[in-house]
Structure 1
């Protein structure tokens, strides 16, 4: 099993940080509408700060994160709600460089997870990405053709470079 650097640490450090955060909290009473009209679908990778990478702040955008930054049924559900009820009129789909989902095969991910868990993971689907640009184009098409995404919503795809911080557009 892989040893986690914070295993056994508990949550005291996080609760203390939350108390400090709450002292300067200024979103009280905010209605949840995306102030900048933006939704971002991106990977769960901790190297990605989805708001700051496009100059936004808390309250400006709706963020949906998952392994690989893919637009599956859960992301589509979030985007439909966001475009009709939460003020979103621009959608960015943003996978990133050096993503584990795009640099490992399905078999490799199953093997790695199984080894870490000490359990058979051959039954689990991780949705490895063989061609990241092709997958991004498929996801953009999925958003653009979905019958319940609000009309007139702009959608764009970018690959975020985790080593430079730059976005590269993919159409």
Structure 2
């Protein structure tokens, strides 16, 4: 009689199963990690955004950096500098999106909502809300363009992604 293996009941079981299927046809083994299309994208963590798909790219074509609101933070700048100098990036797109939660609440409102959900005081946590998305995008593009480690030969553009149409609107 053979031993029966209990089904995996972990909260990640479905994802690990999907990963096994993904690995069955995995084709990126040995990939060099360079952005083959020379593209880096800074965008929001919103699950409605498919950074590669919206640009007609495939895995291996671009470096993607995601955070709430798609802002150019210190960590994003670090990633962009590394991308430019070590990973073949020569075009940078900064792409916030329409109907972003980071533009529709105040810092205080987010702290209250998170605190209520967590059951603890969240008044100390920063969420970096965006009061004026277009102005924030202009600041982010300027920060990348003026960074001393991002040469002028690197194209930097600002775009707003419309989550209802899938279109990018060039803004800068």
Structure-2-length-normalised TM-score = 0.93
Secondary structure at the aligned position of 1:155 is classed as strand
Check whether the contact 1:84–1:150 (CA below 8 A) recurs between aligned residues.
Answer: no
For these two proteins, the number of residue pairs brought into alignment is 164
Check whether the contact 2:158–2:171 (CA below 8 A) recurs between aligned residues.
Answer: yes
Check whether the contact 1:80–1:150 (CA below 8 A) recurs between aligned residues.
Answer: no
Structure number with larger C-alpha Rg? 2
Distance 2:14 2:44 in 1: 25
Distance 2:45 2:168 in 1: 17
Structural mapping, 1:36-51, within 5 Å = 36-51=37-52
Q: Per-residue displacement from partner, 1:47-96 (whole Å, max 9, x unpaired)?
A: 00000001000000000000000001000000000000000000000000
1:9 Cα deviation after fit: 5.9
Q: Per-residue displacement from partner, 1:94-150 (whole Å, max 9, x unpaired)?
A: 000111101111111111111111111111110000000000000000000000113
- Residue equivalent to 1:126: 127
- Residue equivalent to 2:84: 83
- Alignment root-mean-square deviation, CA: 1.0
- Residue equivalent to 1:159: 160
Distance 1:12 1:107 in 2: 37
Structural mapping, 1:1-171, within 5 Å = 10-171=11-172
Secondary structure at the aligned position of 1:156 is classed as strand
Q: Per-residue displacement from partner, 1:20-46 (whole Å, max 9, x unpaired)?
A: 000111001110000000000000000
- Residue equivalent to 2:5: none
- Residue equivalent to 2:6: none
Q: Which runs of 5+ in 2 are unaligned?
A: 1-8
Out of 41-50 and 149-158, give the one that drifted further: 149-158
In 2 relative to 1, CA 99–9 (structure 1 residues): closer, same or farther, beyond 3 Å?
farther
Secondary structure at the aligned position of 2:116 is classed as helix
Q: Which runs of 5+ in 1 are unaligned?
A: 1-7
